[in-house]
Structure 1
Amino acid sequence: MKDITLENERVKLSLLDLSNYKHLIAIANEKDLIFYSPSDISTPEKLKDYVAIAVDGFYQQTTIPFLIYDKIKQAHAGSTRYGLINWKNKVLHIGWTWIGHDFQGTDLNKHMKFLMLQYAFESMKFEKVEFRIDERNIKSRKAVEKIGATLEGILRKDTLMLDGFRRSTCCYGILKEEWEYLKATVFIDIH
Structure 2
Amino acid sequence: MVLEPLTEAHLSDLAKVARHDDIWTYLDEATPEAEQEVDSLITEALQEQEQGSRLPFAIINRDDARAIGTISYIDIQPTHHGLEIGWAWISPAYWSKGIARESSYLLMRHAFEDLGAVRIAFKTDSRNVRSQRAIEGLGATREGVFRNHRILRDGFLRTSHFYSVIADEWPAVRASIEARSRSSAG
What's the TM-score, normalizing by structure 2? 0.91
Distance 1:52 1:40, change over 3 A: farther
Post-superposition CA distance 1:48-75 (Å, at most 9, x none): 1111111011111111101111214653
- Equivalent-residue separation in structure 2 for 1:122 and 1:95 (angstroms): 19
Partner of residue 125 from structure 1, selected from 87, 105, 116: 116
Post-superposition CA distance 1:129-164 (Å, at most 9, x none): 000100000000000001111111111111122221
Conserved in 1, the CA contact under 8 Å of 2:15 and 2:38? yes
- Equivalent-residue separation in structure 2 for 1:90 and 1:32 (angstroms): 33
Match for residue 5 of structure 1? Answer: none
Task: Name whichever of 181-190 and 55-64 sits farther off.
Answer: 181-190
Which consecutive residues of structure 2, in runs of 5 or more, have no partner in the other structure?
none
Partner of residue 150 from structure 1, selected from 116, 136, 141: 141
Please report how far the alpha carbon of residue 108 of structure 1 lies from its aligned counterpart in structure 2 after TM superposition: 1.5
- Equivalent-residue separation in structure 1 for 2:2 and 2:117 (angstroms): 22
Give the counterpart letter for 1:98 in structure 2: W
Residue 96, structure 1, aligned to residue 87, structure 2: yes
Match for residue 72 of structure 2? Answer: 81
Q: CA RMSD in A?
A: 1.6
Which consecutive residues of structure 1, in runs of 5 or more, have no partner in the other structure?
1-10
Residue 105, structure 1, aligned to residue 96, structure 2: yes
- Equivalent-residue separation in structure 2 for 1:71 and 1:19 (angstroms): 16
Give the secondary structure class of the aligned counterpart of 1:88. Answer: helix
Match for residue 167 of structure 2? Answer: 176
- Equivalent-residue separation in structure 2 for 1:17 and 1:83 (angstroms): 17
Match for residue 4 of structure 1? Answer: none
Partner of residue 18 from structure 1, selected from 8, 12, 16: 8
- Equivalent-residue separation in structure 2 for 1:73 and 1:141 (angstroms): 29
Select the structure that is richer in helix.
Answer: 2
Give the counterpart letter for 1:31 in structure 2: D
Give the counterpart letter for 1:40 in structure 2: A
Post-superposition CA distance 1:92-139 (Å, at most 9, x none): 010111110110010212211111110010011111100010000000
Give the counterpart letter for 2:114 in structure 1: S
Distance 1:73 1:102, change over 3 A: farther
Partner of residue 59 from structure 2, selected from 56, 68, 72: 68
